[in-house]
């Protein structure tokens, strides 16, 4: 009994160290690409989206198919529209992509099912468009070089705060069928952690560097709303995995899983921060 307990503790410490090491590498990559922005960050954001879409399509076994090739081409066109700030081209692009997908299903029938085609289509909007808002926030929002970090505060800090709060005082299960380990106290702790860290971030920039980019109300609203949406994104990804009996989307990031496992909440948070920041910067 004692040996099993010690082995379990060692395994948990080993897993934690792997997660911390991977998180450190991700942080370095984020700083090295997001701070300079532009062409330093654009291809990284595109690559993250492409891998995320591949993982998403893998759960319905179309990640190595003609449908996948069409999807990657559509993703490239989407990012081209984002780069040149031609949002007016997105709806025509989505419609053309949908038509081509259905044409592929008809021509190659019965190779692809309607479910597979619709999963590919939703993947472009859900993963591709969602993650593109990281780049859009960095490049297309005033003070984007500073505001973009609120995306990670709302998602990753909120997630860590919810986890630690849940361990410390979590008693009431929030989503017992979908995510039994999540507690109401943890959810609240995640929201408060996001707001607190966002305010600290603003104070450091204000007092330490004289950089003023949002007022305190803006920070509170963005970090609070972002934390709530972050939890929705995380739970939505969990629901997808449960529906398709998948434990992790991938194994690219040791200790974390795939891109989708690490960026599932950011997919929803990034557009939230983008539009709320534009609202408060008027």
For residue 265, give every residue at least 6 positions away whose Cβ sits within 8 Å of its Cβ, in sequence order, or none: 155, 156, 158, 159, 229, 230, 231, 233, 234, 237
Mean pLDDT value of segment 237-242:
88
115/62 Cα distance (integer angstroms):
11
3-class SS at 142?
Answer: coil
pLDDT of residue 163: 86
| pLDDT band for position 257 (cuts 50, 70, 90) | confident
What is the model's pLDDT at position 10? Answer: 58
User: Which residues share a beta bridge with 179?
Assistant: 175
Torsions phi, psi for 269 (to 5 deg): -70, -40
Q: Which residues pair with 253 in a beta bridge?
A: 257
Residue 177 burial (C-beta neighbours within 10 Å; 0-12, 13-18, 19+): exposed
For position 18, what pLDDT does the model report?
66
For the chain, what percentages of helix, strand and coil (3-state, to nearest 5) are there? 80, 5, 20
Each residue of 122-143: pLDDT tens digit?
999 999 999 999 999 999 999 9
């Amino acid at each position: 009994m004692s040996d099993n307990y010690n082995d379990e503790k060692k395994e948990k410490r080993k897993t934690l160290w792997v997660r911390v090491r991977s998180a450190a590498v991700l942080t370095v990559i984020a700083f090295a690409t997001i701070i300079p922005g532009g062409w330093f960050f654009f291809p990284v954001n595109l690559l993250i989206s492409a891998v995320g879409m591949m993982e998403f399509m893998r759960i319905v076994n179309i990640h190595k198919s003609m449908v996948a090739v069409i999807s990657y081409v559509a993703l490239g066109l989407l990012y081209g529209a984002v780069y040149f700030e031609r949002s007016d081209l997105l709806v025509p692009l989505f419609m053309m992509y949908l038509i081509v997908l259905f044409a592929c299903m008809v021509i190659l029938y019965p190779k692809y099912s309607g479910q597979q085609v619709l999963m590919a289509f939703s993947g472009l909007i859900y993963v591709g468009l969602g993650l593109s808002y990281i780049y859009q926030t960095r490049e297309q929002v005033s003070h984007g070089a500073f505001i973009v970090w609120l995306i990670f505060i709302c998602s990753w800090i909120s997630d860590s705060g919810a986890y630690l709060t849940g361990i410390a005082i979590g008693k009431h299960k929030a989503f017992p069928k979908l995510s039994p380990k999540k507690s109401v106290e943890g959810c609240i702790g995640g929201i408060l952690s996001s707001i607190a860290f966002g305010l600290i971030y603003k104070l450091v920039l204000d007092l330490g560097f004289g950089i003023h980019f949002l007022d305190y109300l803006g920070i509170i609203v963005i970090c609070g709303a972002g934390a709530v949406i972050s939890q929705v994104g995380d739970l939505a990804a969990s629901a997808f995995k449960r529906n398709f009996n998948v434990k992790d989307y991938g194994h690219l990031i040791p200790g974390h899983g795939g891109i989708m496992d690490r960026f599932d909440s950011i997919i929803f948070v990034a557009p939230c921060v983008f539009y709320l920041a534009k609202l408060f910067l008027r």
